[in-house]
Amino acid sequence: MAKIKPSQGAPFARIMGVGGYRPTRVVPNDVILETIDSSDEWIRSRSGIATRHWASPEETVTAMSVEAAGKAIADAGITPEQVGGVIVSTVSHFKQTPAVATEIADKIGANKPAAFDISAGCAGFGYGLTLAKGMVVEGSAEYVLVIGVERLSDLTDLEDRATAFLFGDGAGAVVVGPAKEPAIGPTVWGSEGDKSETIKQTVAWTDYRDGTVERFPAITQEGQAVFRWAVFEMAKVAQQALDAAGITAEELDVFIPHQANMRIIDSMVKTLKLPEHVTVARDVETTGNTSAASIPLAMERLLATGQAKSGDTALVIGFGAGLVYAATVVTLP
Q: Which residues are catalytic?
A: 122, 258, 289
28 forms beta bridges with 51
- Please classify residue 273 by burial: count the beta carbons closer than 10 Å to its beta carbon, then call 0-12 exposed, 13-18 middle and 19+ buried: exposed
**CA angle centred on 84, ends 82 and 89, rounded to 5°:** 120
**With contact defined as beta carbons under 8 Å apart, do 299 and 18 qualify?**
yes
Please give the Cα distance from 85 to 102 (Å, whole number): 10
- In contact, 247 and 272? CB cutoff 8 Å: no
Rg of the chain over CA atoms, in angstroms?
19
CA pair distance 193, 191, nearest whole angstrom: 6
Closest CA to 189 of 317, 289, 315, 290: 317
250 three-state secondary structure? helix
* Three-state SS letters, 160-229: CCCCCCCECEEEEEEEEEEECCCCECCCEEEECHHHHHHEEECCCHHHHHCCCCCCCCCEEECHHHHHHH
What is the Cβ-side half-sphere exposure of residue 307, based on CA atoms within 13 angstroms? 16
End-to-end CA distance of the chain: 44
With beta carbons less than 8 A apart as the criterion, state whether 310 and 226 touch.
Answer: no
**Count, residues in the chain:** 333
Cβ distance 147 to 83 under 8 Å? no
197 Cα distance to chain centroid: 21
